[in-house]
Chains A and B, each alone.
Chain A
Amino acid sequence: MQRNRPPSAQAISVLRALAADPARWRYGYDLAAEVHLKSGSLYPILVRLADRGLLETSWEPSQGSRPPRHLYRLTLAGREYVAALPAVRAGRAVPHPRNRWSEA
């Protein structure tokens, strides 16, 4: 059911930030800083994007004894989704607050 909900403005900003350079893998913290989101908002969005198949994840090889970092970029479906976003947003005359896709 959640899959049919339209994305929130925050999720769209994350999608657009990732789409700016779709081939590049991004770190979570850098992404959060770029779109001015707190970690508590960013990670649930990333989880949902990955659940919808819009985001692919990977692990950066760990450096020495430091833990590995998680990397993110858009999938092909994610790129197509972002490309279609303006039309999707225009189709929503009045966004309903309960349809916030990012809410738990």
Chain B
Amino acid sequence: MAIQVVFMMCPVGIGVALLRRYARAVPAGPAARDDVPELLLRWAAGLLSAQRAEWGQAMLGELDHIDGRSRRWRFAVGCAGAVLLLPPWGRAAAAVWAMVAVAAGATGVYAAVVVRHGLGVGGWVWGAIILVFLVSYTLAASVLLRRPAVAVPGLLGGLFVILAWLAIQRFTFAGVIAPMIAPFARLAVIGAPLLVGVAGTLWSGSAVDGRRIARLAALSAALGLYLYATIAVAVLGAGGPLQDTGWTASSIISDRLGNNVIKLLVVLPLVTATIGWAAAAATARFRPRLAAGVVSVPVTAVRVRSWRRIAYLLLLLAVLAAAVFLAVISGVSGR
């Protein structure tokens, strides 16, 4: 129940975050076309390091002189792809390769389980869905890893979330497969991202980077824990925690693999990113010096309109209220 409430609130949080992002976008000049290719390229150009920022402006300037929808699309997509791969990557390359290794490892272990236990077509269909998740998360994380102010605290935050989740499951394979019913578990699920959001904002000195740190922590924790949980299913098979009677071995394994996806690739990143984002925003509210850091980043040139401010504050309050509510519920159910 408690997790579901947070889970339901996540799409609302994402919606408000997108609204805020739209309100803070770079103001377009009078001649700017503001079509999708330009928006895509403007977003991609924002990912370039300061050393390469000039090249992003060069691509945008060139796009402005290209006519025809398909030509604009081709040019923008090509440039966006180049921007994502353009060096210098520096130390970020090692972290990205580590993420790729984790994602590839999880895929390999999943495939081995499907083959070994003969899970059939359904297992491969789920495998394809999981692959989309893993590739998306790795790409999203690689974008964040290119920012030096975000990479190290984000990865440390992810490690902290992983350790918090493993601690509440007592660092055992059986624990990671079993449902999280202990009251302490819910506190940790909420408390870890709260701490990551607050610490990330204080560390980076910026509310924007604090939210990015929370997102990177969510992605890296999801990838790491998913690999761990998939290995747990591979090792335990149909053994380990007792399941309802009448289940076959393959149905137990399928159920566990499916639970891993929902719990670790959907709920964990959504809950961690949303709560971490709210915590980072709240930290900046209480420390105006950090909120002022928001103005220094290039994408924040326009003041947020008043109604968006209200929507944002309402969501922030809702997330904090939910956190308190869940903490109270957890405490009550634990007695």
Contacts and interface: CB of A to CB of B under 8 A. Distances in A.
Nearest to A60: B61
A39 B74 contact: yes
Given A66-B64, A69-B65, A70-B57, A40 B30 contact: no
A40 B61 contact: no
Chain B interface bracket (under 10, 10 to 19, 20 to 34, 35 or more): 20 to 34
Contacts of B29: 65-67
A19 to B, nearest CB: 21
A29 to B, nearest CB: 5
A60 to B, nearest CB: 8
Contact of A66 (B31, B52, B55, B82): B31
A70 B61 contact: yes
A47 B61 contact: no
B236 interface: no
Interface residues of A, number: 20
B81 A40 contact: yes
B64 A39 contact: no
B86 A47 contact: yes
Contact of B82 (A40, A64, A65): A40
B58 A64 contact: no
Contacts of B76: 39
Interface in A48-97: 57, 64-70
A15 to B, nearest CB: 18
A69 B57 CA distance: 8
B65 A47 contact: no
A43 to B, nearest CB: 5
Nearest to A70: B58
Contact of B62 (A28, A44, A47): A28
Contacts of A39: 59, 62, 74-76, 78-79, 82
Contacts of B79: 39-40, 43
A67 B86 contact: no
A43 B64 contact: no
A41 B76 CA distance: 12
What 5 A-B pairs are tightest by C-beta distance, nearest first? A40-B78, A70-B58, A39-B78, A67-B61, A65-B31
Interface of B: 29-32, 52, 54-55, 57-62, 64-66, 74-79, 81-82, 85-87
16 contacts: A27-B65, A39-B79, A40-B78, A40-B81, A43-B79, A44-B82, A44-B85, A64-B31, A65-B29, A65-B31, A67-B29, A67-B61, A67-B64, A69-B58, A69-B62, A70-B62
